Amino acid sequence: MTLATAAPWVRGAARTRTRAARPSAARPSAACTPVRVACALGALGLLGAGCLPALAAPSEVTVNAARAFPESITSTASGEVIFGSLAQPTIFRAPPGSGTAEPWIRLKDGGHDTSLGVLADTASNTLWVCVRMPNAPAPAAAGGAGRQGLAPSHSVLRAFNLRTGRVRASYRLPGVTSLCNDISIAPDRSVFVSDTTNGRVLRLDRHAGKLDIWLHDPRLVGIDGLTFLGPALYVNNVQTGHIYRLPIGSDGKAGAPVDIALSQPLQGPDGMRAAKGKIYVAENRAGRISALTIDGDQATVQVIKDGYQMPTAVSPVGGVLWVGESKLNYLFDAKLRGQDPGPFKAYALPLP
């Protein structure tokens, strides 16, 4: 989980918990802490299942790194918030209850490997990451941070242990050039990824240990976010603003994309995730987050909040919708490049 207006080549353009030090003064016994009380009430059905993250989660999380430019975020029900980085070979992680995301996984020492989509799958204890690997050395951007430039690239889908951060497997996208952008997991546990530059959706063949081309369609050149809403797979195009449903046949093969008629245009639809019967999408050019209510081949667009600086990712968990600001315009816009973008953050919104 961007760059349609700034860099068309990109978008068409173990778990270690940090525990607070025990104060010298007496404190309530563990049995009486608010968190334990909430858990007890939740077990009795007196509070919602998301009570613990709602009590523990901060309202925002800041990446502890300058010029990180996180293109994607993901979160877990236990309260972790994880960031990728389009400018650094690092995955950042904020443990439950923390307002700061620290460097966690190093993708490559001394290299230019960076990341786009990240997705935490707690059911398999896996962190899926789209890793971009330039085919040629990338120039440095003004202001000192490594920039991905316009060099052609290839991508791999990499699986990490969600608790330890250790690499489990890597799957290269077929072809000389590719751009793995986002990941989604089907109800049957199949893993799908989007390839922005080639207009493809790929599916992981676990037995063969490779990614297969599931769908290749010219309308998908610029594909970015993808998500399952029930059994249906939806994708967006960051260049054109379209939302498509991709039918899945009884044999598992893809049907022709179905263009969803929107009640109002989407401006740079980027990362998107489904929750509570809706699809939540980051509109990077509009600086806003919207919810889509699908009805057949139509969708009602409801703006949830605007005023963000190039939001490129959303992550719903429990009763919270995390919104990730990438500020990628400071990386690719010549007028802003080299200026201080300020801190990079993810913000928690009540999930509508």
What is the pLDDT, as a whole number, of residue 12? 38
**Residue 86 near residue 115 (C-beta atoms within 8 A):** yes
The answer to whether residue 3 is domain-embedded is no
**Given a cut of 50, is residue 146 above it in pLDDT?**
no
Counted domains in the chain: 1
| SS3 category, 201 | strand
Percent with pLDDT over 70 in the chain: 78
Cα(193)–Cα(200) distance, integer angstroms: 8
Q: What angle do CA 87, 88, 93 make, to 5 degrees?
A: 115
The answer to whether residue 26 is domain-embedded is no
Q: pTM of the entire structure?
A: 0.82
Based on its alpha-carbon atoms, the radius of gyration of the chain, rounded to whole angstroms, reads: 20
What is the pLDDT, as a whole number, of residue 333? 92
Phi, psi of 178 (to 5 degrees): -165, 165
Give the total residue count for the chain.
Answer: 352
112 compared with 164, residue with greater pLDDT: 164
Least confident range of 56-60, 217-221, 306-310: 56-60
**Given a cut of 80, is residue 30 above it in pLDDT?**
no
The answer to whether residue 151 is domain-embedded is yes
The answer to whether residue 132 is domain-embedded is yes
**Residue 171 near residue 211 (C-beta atoms within 8 A):** yes
| SS3 category, 153 | strand
**Residue 167 near residue 175 (C-beta atoms within 8 A):** no
The answer to whether residue 23 is domain-embedded is no
Q: Which domain holds residue 340?
A: 8-13+32-350
Give tens-digit pLDDT for 80-120. Answer: 999 999 999 999 999 999 999 999 999 976 568 999 999 99
**Given a cut of 90, is residue 134 above it in pLDDT?**
no
What is the pLDDT, as a whole number, of residue 112? 81
Give tens-digit pLDDT for 190-241. Answer: 999 999 999 999 999 999 999 999 999 999 999 999 999 999 999 999 999 9
The answer to whether residue 19 is domain-embedded is no
Q: Quickly count: other Cβ atoms within 10 Å of residue 276's Cβ.
A: 11
What is the pLDDT, as a whole number, of residue 111? 66
What is the pLDDT, as a whole number, of residue 110? 58
Q: Quickly count: other Cβ atoms within 10 Å of residue 1's Cβ.
A: 33
The answer to whether residue 302 is domain-embedded is yes
Could you tell me the CATH number of the domain that includes residue 224?
2.130.10.10
CA 70, chain centre distance (Å): 9
**Given a cut of 70, is residue 13 above it in pLDDT?**
no
307 compared with 54, residue with greater pLDDT: 307
Cα(132)–Cα(137) distance, integer angstroms: 12
Q: Name the one residue in this structure whose structure tokens are 């994880």.
A: 82
Strands 210-216 and 200-205, bridge-based pairing: antiparallel
The answer to whether residue 2 is domain-embedded is no
**Given a cut of 90, is residue 32 above it in pLDDT?**
no
Cα(282)–Cα(259) distance, integer angstroms: 19
Q: What is the pLDDT of the chain when averaged over all its residues?
A: 84
